[in-house]
Amino acid sequence: MPAAKVRLQTVDEGSVGQRLDNYLLRELKGVPKTHIYRVIRAGEVRVNKGRAQADTRLELGDVVRIPPVRVAERPAEALAELAPPREFPLVFEDEHLLVIDKPAGVAVHGGSGVSFGVIEQLRRARPQAKFLELVHRLDKETSGVLVLAKKRSALTHLQDQFRGRETGKTYAALVWGDWPEKLKVIDVALHKYLDADGERRVRQVTSSHDPAAEQAKRSITLVKVVKRLGWATLLDVTIKTGRTHQIRVHLAEAGHAIVGDPKYGDFAKNRDMARGPQRFERMFLHARRLQFAHPQTAAQLVCEAPLPTECRHLIETA
């Protein structure tokens, strides 16, 4: 448990506009949040030799004094095992952005029982990258287009677009049964909660008398039939709001759960599909298209990821 020395860090463009507490959390990986706030309150952290608050916004060229803290060191081998470096299929990249095609079964970040995810692996694969952050999220079970920012200015610009519903998100989803042709818009509020096991879940709220009615958020999903297979229907799903598990819950509550969905799906059918001749063992939800304005040029970018091989094979052969 070695003691670190005082560090004087000069803020570069990758950290401009960041709050001091968030800057320290990134610089002092492994140090508990409570300790970081304690040293800020005690005045041990200085910005340009003066005391600063946790919410102080950093500017280019600011000098941050980071006091000595004790951090448990991991052996290099253990760290490598924790987050092995990995690159992912590239959709688009320039000096501002990185857009990848995320595989199913890979979390976007560590936490909640997951040691590491896409962001940790990419940072290990790109040690020279001064800044690399997730712009948005995809469920672990979902594949497809995922955007990361390589500059803080790009991150804030893109997150504003996502929050303002200025992006076009289209998913390919295979659902059980024959989707009704007339059901094209689902506009039902969703409420996020933790179940008895502490697992995150989402449910629809359809009544003003529901105890969760005030906390529920309006959620809008647009559905278009692409192909009818008899036993299942391939859909193009466009979301106007980006709620947690929105597509999964809306489709399941409409009576047509996504094939392979381990949380809201038809568990018996999923098991039979995984054990049957198809050996299809994932959730059939793929972020196939994302349109947004480039944070620097404002040009419209359309990023697309082809349907994964196992999904395409299932449609063609089942």
Residues marked active site are found at: 139
Closest CA relative to residue 259, chosen from 174, 141, 171, 180: 174
Closest Cα partner for 148 from 160, 136, 164?
Answer: 136
Rounded to a whole number, what is the distance in angstroms from the first to the last CA of the chain? 57
DSSP SS3 for 26: helix
* Dist CA 92 CA 99 (whole Å): 5
From the list 113, 111, 132, the residue with the least C-alpha distance to 122 is 132
What tokens were used for 100? 């990848």
d(CA 50, CA 45): 8
CA atoms within 13 A on the CB side of 178: 3
Q: How far apart are CA 220 and CA 186, in angstroms?
A: 6
User: Which helix (H) or strand (E) is 137 found in, with range?
Assistant: none
DSSP 60: T
Q: DSSP secondary structure string, 133-197? A: EESS---TT-EEEEEEESSHHHHHHHHHHHHTT-SEEEEEEEEES---TT--EEE-EEEEEE-TT
